[in-house]
């Protein structure tokens, strides 16, 4: 057995130290190999789908990750109690934690992943860059020193030259990462990155890198086994990002030629062999416009975006992990690996793209996935999306013979997917996929920033959405006459309504005509509808000679509508009392914009603040969100404490004008 390698042996029952769609993905492959599966869950996931799909499920703690999914002793004890003899970490949480891998080994459990030695060497960004540099791999200039004092970090940032990237040394997924453009903003960004890294990975250590402008983010999927074999499975392009988190991934990359693929693949395989690496891993690079590439980090785990590689190779990467972990040799050589077609994956997230991608949580009242396309998820109608974990709730993968075919299938799949009750980035993803810049294969990491206004532009038929919402509020209103096909003998009379849509309060009138049609009058004019079909979930109608349809969900005064894949929400304000306060802080009260945990109170009573000044930071779904003063004045009260969990709308800071 190699020095530092895991102890290979047979196993029959796998505990999955993760949650949601990750756990379900591992369950699927494990069962195909005839393995039993055990799930773990926090209090927030008590009724989650992965808990019910496993053979057995074990509670490991409270909702916060540090008290559950990051709790190493609790997870190892769960494995022992359930009779599991192997542990799969999934991706995220403890997947790149060498202490966890070592703890599993010491407990006599097979860790389905690389050895603790390999995780320690490459899972740590600083150590990984040193190893790559010694191997002659080009790396991004930066600082990976052990001295983490604020003044040292600032001095090193100045030496590197702004803009610089601050990166958490542990973990990934964009958490603990900040782009800093000048020295003045560096201290606040450093504090925020450390806080976020500590909350997500239990380690506040960071590194610094020079920010390479407008690169491609390219990663190479690698596999190694205990017999000395190593292969790469081609590259993925993960350039479309927001908040430094991947949003759209594809394989192969439109920017990588066969020659460049071979060169990057050789570098990646050489690294795997040098490490005597076993299992799945990913080497991440930045590719500049000249074709030069720079090593950033190695993820010693499976990636969220692995389905696009599976689509073009025909391989099950989780199955390969399981086979390598029990000591089998990789079943294929490099020359056996052929890439077929093109695949694109989007990350469906519970977030509000129009409001700086603010995380959303709550009850997913209706969830339906289309047939004919791969959707990785752990949702069902009525499921709760908790505020404690990552905002990604599903992955949708399109595969075709060409990139254009894959893109088209993915757009159609997103149009047919239904997610009502919690705001998601569904419309934003379709906007990205339809953008000419993406269609031509040109996106870099600057894509969303450069085209943000276009991607978030209001729909040209937004006025029609208002009219359709008015119609649906009328026909679902128990006080209005029930819809019946055909003519009506009743006299036509208008029913006034006041609604809120896209943050605007609007007034309209709906009239049922004697011929059975409906007239919706708004400030923009009138729209005439003929309803052809209507039930509790869907309406089919004619408008201006065009037959169309929409899905909807009425939940009290809240109406959720989805037409042509674009969801929007409406609130019926007809009988609502006037709002007493402004939600944006204009009344001096700063309110929590989401469910989250207070990680930093940045002011104290008596402090004078100006409008727009940061006053408090919340952490939700592994990301930090700064809340700012809405007016100039003096802080009158702080209504929360650091570490406190708050709900959306709670007053957290009060400011008196003056």
Catalytic residue IDs: 301
CA distances from 14 to 11, 23, 89, 115 (A): 8, 11, 10, 17
Nearest to 212 by CA among 163, 246, 284: 163
396 close to 373: Cβ distance less than 8 angstroms: yes
CA 397 to chain centre: 14
On the 0-12 / 13-18 / 19+ scale of CB atoms within 10 A, 186 is: buried
Query: Other CB atoms closer than 10 Å to residue 202's CB: what's the count?
Result: 18
How much of the chain is helix, strand and coil, in % rounded to 5?
25, 35, 40
| Residues facing residue 617 across a β-bridge | 600, 626
CA 217 – CA 239 distance, rounded (Å): 5
What's the 3-state SS for 600-632? EECCCCCCEECCCCEEEEEEECCEEEEEECCCC
Q: Is 54 helix (H, G, I), strand (E, B) or coil?
A: coil
Nearest to 13 by CA among 124, 87, 64, 70: 87
How many Cα neighbours within 13 Å face the side chain of 75?
32
Both ends of the chain: CA-CA distance in Å? Answer: 72
How many Cα neighbours within 13 Å face the side chain of 367?
21
CA 23 – CA 372 distance, rounded (Å): 22
Collect all residues with Cβ–Cβ distance below 8 Å to 155 and sequence separation of at least 6.
none
CA 447 – CA 359 distance, rounded (Å): 21
121 close to 5: Cβ distance less than 8 angstroms: no
Nearest to 304 by CA among 379, 391, 372: 391
26 close to 20: Cβ distance less than 8 angstroms: no
């Amino acid at each position: 057995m190699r020095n530092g390698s895991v102890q290979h042996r047979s196993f029959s029952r796998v505990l999955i130290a993760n949650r949601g769609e990750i756990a379900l993905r591992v369950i699927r492959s494990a069962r195909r190999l005839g393995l039993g599966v055990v799930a773990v869950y926090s209090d927030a996931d008590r009724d989650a789908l992965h808990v019910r799909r496993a053979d057995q499920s074990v509670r490991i703690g409270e909702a916060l990750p540090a008290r559950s999914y990051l709790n190493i002793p609790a997870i190892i004890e769960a494995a022992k109690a359930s009779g599991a003899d192997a542990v799969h970490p999934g991706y995220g949480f403890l997947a790149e934690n060498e202490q966890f891998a070592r703890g599993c080994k010491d407990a006599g459990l097979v860790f389905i992943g690389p050895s603790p030695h390999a995780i320690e060497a490459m899972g740590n960004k600083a150590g990984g860059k040193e190893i790559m540099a010694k191997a002659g791999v080009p790396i991004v200039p930066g600082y990976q020193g052990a001295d983490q004092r604020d003044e040292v970090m600032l001095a090193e940032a100045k030496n590197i030259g702004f803009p610089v990237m601050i990166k958490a040394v542990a973990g990934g997924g964009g958490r603990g990462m900040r782009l800093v453009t000048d020295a003045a903003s560096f201290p606040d960004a450093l504090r925020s990155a450390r806080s976020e890294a500590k909350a997500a990975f239990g380690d506040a250590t960071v590194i610094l890198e020079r920010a390479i402008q407008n690169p491609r983010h390219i990663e190479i999927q690698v596999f190694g086994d205990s017999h000395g074999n190593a292969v790469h499975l081609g590259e993925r392009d993960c350039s479309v990002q927001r908040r430094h988190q991947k949003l759209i991934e594809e394989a192969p990359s439109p920017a990588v030629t066969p020659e460049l693929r071979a060169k990057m693949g050789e570098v990646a395989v050489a690294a795997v062999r040098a490490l005597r690496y076993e299992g799945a891993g990913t080497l991440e690079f930045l590719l500049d416009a000249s074709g030069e590439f720079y090593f950033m980090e190695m993820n010693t785990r499976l990636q969220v975006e692995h389905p696009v590689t599976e689509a073009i190779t025909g391989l099950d990467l989780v199955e390969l992990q399981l086979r390598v972990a029990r000591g089998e040799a990789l079943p294929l050589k490099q020359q056996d690996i052929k890439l077929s077609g093109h695949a694109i994956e989007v990350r469906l997230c519970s977030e509000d793209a129009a409001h700086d991608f603010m995380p959303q949580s709550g009850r997913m009242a209706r969830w339906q996935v289309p047939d004919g396309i791969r959707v990785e998820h752990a949702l069902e109608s009525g499921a709760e999306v908790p505020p404690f974990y990552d905002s990604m709730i599903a992955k949708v993968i399109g595969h075709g013979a060409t990139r254009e075919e894959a893109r088209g299938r993915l757009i159609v799949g997103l149009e047919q997917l239904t997610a009502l009750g919690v705001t998601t980035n569904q419309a934003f993803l379709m906007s990205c996929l339809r953008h000419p810049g993406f269609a031509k294969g040109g996106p870099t990491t600057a894509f969303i920033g450069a085209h943000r206004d276009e991607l978030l532009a209001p729909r040209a038929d937004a006025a029609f959405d208002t009219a359709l919402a008015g119609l649906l509020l009328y026909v679902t209103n128990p006080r209005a006459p029930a819809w019946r096909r055909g003519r009506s003998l009743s006299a036509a009379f208008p029913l006034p309504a006041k609604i809120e849509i896209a943050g605007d309060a609007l007034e309209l009138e709906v009239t049922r005509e004697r011929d059975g049609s409906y007239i919706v009058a708004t400030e923009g004019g009138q729209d005439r509808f003929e309803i052809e079909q209507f039930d509790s979930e869907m309406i089919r109608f004619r408008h201006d000679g065009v037959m169309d349809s929409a899905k909807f969900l009425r939940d009290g005064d809240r109406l959720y509508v989805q037409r042509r894949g674009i969801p929007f929400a409406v609130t019926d304000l007809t009988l609502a009392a006037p709002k007493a306060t402004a939600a944006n802080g204009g009344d001096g009260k700063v309110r929590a914009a989401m469910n989250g945990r207070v990680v930093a109170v940045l002011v104290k009573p008596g402090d004078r603040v100006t409008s727009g000044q940061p006053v408090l930071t919340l952490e939700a779904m592994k990301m930090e969100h700064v809340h700012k003063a809405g007016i100039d004045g003096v802080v009158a009260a702080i209504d929360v404490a650091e570490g406190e969990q708050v709900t959306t709308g709670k007053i957290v800071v009060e400011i008196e004008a003056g």
